[in-house]
């Protein structure tokens, strides 16, 4: 029973992070399930099946709060599903260990870019275009889906920072669209795992616990990303990407614990400083950090949309 309670809390925390920042459900939950003593195969397959429920709930909540661009969902979700299925099927024969340092390095660069861009320059925009082209979304979805299936997570960490760095979508639209399209990725990955490994690899206890926690967190996360200003959200996402991928690189390089600790302290200080700069900029400009946009809970637009 204590283990199940911990897994419920894991599901809640993972979905809250994923729903608010557009990434890290798989990475967070898989890591913690492994820490609870389950094998990698059981953890990865069970987390992906649990994601069927959490991503559906998260997508519905983001749609309710107006965070979804359906064109982006279609053009990144379908290739993402193909990549996820292929990744799940070949997971037993192809190792992703060699690709981990390279991918973490790319994500680290993207994370630094997003953090600096939102902290120093505000919300990135590109005049004359408010969408990301399909020829860019398709290969991005294919690669992100494959990474997600072979690495136990990665759809959000690959897709979200890349779309944010393009500067052509609002952060909340990026988060909502990536989270919504993740349902297709989770569905395809689950099918691939079941085909390659069989149903015996699943732990229904893990799936149920993660679902309970994740379903409880999904509406709260979608509401949070709906009212937090894009600049603050961009700074939070950028810091998370940097810290997460520095940790990945340290794990691969097997650096001393002392060096890791001091590096984390420095990164957290920089991250806190960046958020403080955003807060200061909002105060200087007289704009609120928390704002009620059209379609937010309780607004007239939301009530009209509900009808």
Low-confidence ranges of the chain (pLDDT < 50): 124-129, 293-307
pLDDT of residue 305: 32
- Distance between CA atoms of residues 14 and 130, nearest Å: 30
pLDDT of residue 77: 93
Q: Which residues contact 192 (CB under 8 A, 6 or more apart)?
A: 84, 85, 86, 87, 88, 89, 91, 149
pLDDT of residue 99: 56
- Are 14 and 43 in contact, with CB atoms under 8 Å apart? no
pLDDT of residue 192: 87
Neighbour count for residue 128 (Cβ, 10 Å)? 5
The helix (H) or strand (E) run that includes residue 220 is: helix 204-227
- Distance between CA atoms of residues 101 and 123, nearest Å: 29
- Residue extents of the structural domains in the chain: 2-306
pLDDT of residue 266: 93
Q: What angle do CA 135, 25, 161 make, to 5 degrees?
A: 40
pTM > 0.85: yes or no? no
């Amino acid at each position: 029973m204590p283990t199940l309670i911990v897994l419920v809390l894991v599901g809640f925390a993972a979905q809250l992070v994923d729903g608010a920042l557009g990434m890290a459900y798989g990475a967070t939950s898989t890591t913690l399930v492994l820490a609870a003593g389950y094998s990698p195969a059981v953890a990865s397959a069970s987390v992906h099946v649990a994601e069927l429920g959490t991503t559906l709930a998260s997508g519905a909540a983001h749609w309710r709060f107006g965070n979804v661009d359906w064109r982006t969902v279609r053009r990144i979700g379908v290739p993402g599903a193909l990549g996820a299925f292929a990744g799940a099927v070949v997971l037993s024969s192809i190792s992703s260990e060699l690709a981990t340092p390279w991918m973490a390095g790319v994500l680290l660069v993207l994370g630094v870019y997003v953090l600096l861009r939102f902290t120093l320059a505000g919300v990135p925009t590109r005049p004359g275009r408010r969408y990301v082209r399909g020829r860019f979304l398709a290969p991005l979805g294919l690669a992100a889906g494959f990474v997600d299936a072979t690495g136990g997570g990665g759809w959000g960490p690959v897709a979200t920072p890349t779309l944010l760095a393009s500067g052509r979508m609002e952060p909340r639209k990026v988060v909502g669209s990536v989270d919504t399209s993740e349902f297709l990725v989770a569905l395809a990955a689950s099918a691939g795992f079941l085909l390659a490994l069989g149903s015996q690899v699943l732990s229904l206890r893990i799936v149920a616990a993660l679902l309970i926690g994740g379903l409880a967190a999904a509406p709260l996360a979608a509401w949070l990303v709906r009212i937090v200003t894009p600049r603050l959200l961009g700074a939070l996402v950028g810091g998370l990407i940097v810290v997460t991928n520095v940790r990945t690189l340290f794990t691969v390089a097997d650096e001393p614990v002392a060096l890791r600790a001091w590096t984390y302290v420095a990164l957290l200080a920089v991250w806190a400083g960046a958020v403080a700069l955003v807060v200061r900029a909002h105060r200087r400009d007289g704009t609120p950090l928390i704002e009620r946009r059209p379609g937010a809970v309780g607004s007239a637009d939301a009530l009209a949309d509900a009808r």
